[in-house]
Homo-oligomer: A and B are copies of this chain.
């Protein structure tokens, strides 16, 4: 309820890293960059907007498949739950836009992919 579901189409901005929580649950984390292009009706051309960065976390089975499949710079479609986190460290406030991934795929608008279904 009141979850904010978002789909971001962008590029992998940091090498995906896989870790394990203290409870033994695996997750993979990477940064995703997206730059909106909008039609500028006055100029009659497309224009790039500013780039937005998200921290994406994938869990369990998805975490392993992302680690195995996704490399730096690759184009992705990511759907997940969006959270804007505010933290304070050393007296400074940090804000981060996080996506807890539900589905992740290579964006076929930018290339081709070969898929193998997991046997699990």
Measured CB to CB, the residues of A under 8 A from B are 1-10, 34-39, 41, 44, 46, 49-50, 52-54, 58, 61-62, 65-66, 68-71, 74-77, 79, 81-86, 92, 94-97, 102-118
Contact = CB atoms under 8 A, between A and B. Distances in A.
Q: How many copies does the complex hold?
A: 4
Given A79-B77, A113-B114, A116-B113, A36 B4 contact: yes
Interface of A is mostly: strand
A52 B83 contact: yes
A34 to B, nearest CB: 6
B114 A34 contact: no
A2 B102 CA distance: 8
30 contacts: A2-B34, A2-B36, A3-B36, A4-B7, A4-B36, A7-B79, A9-B79, A36-B83, A39-B39, A50-B85, A52-B82, A52-B85, A53-B84, A62-B108, A65-B108, A65-B112, A69-B113, A69-B114, A70-B115, A77-B103, A94-B95, A95-B95, A97-B97, A103-B109, A104-B107, A105-B108, A110-B117, A111-B116, A112-B116, A113-B115
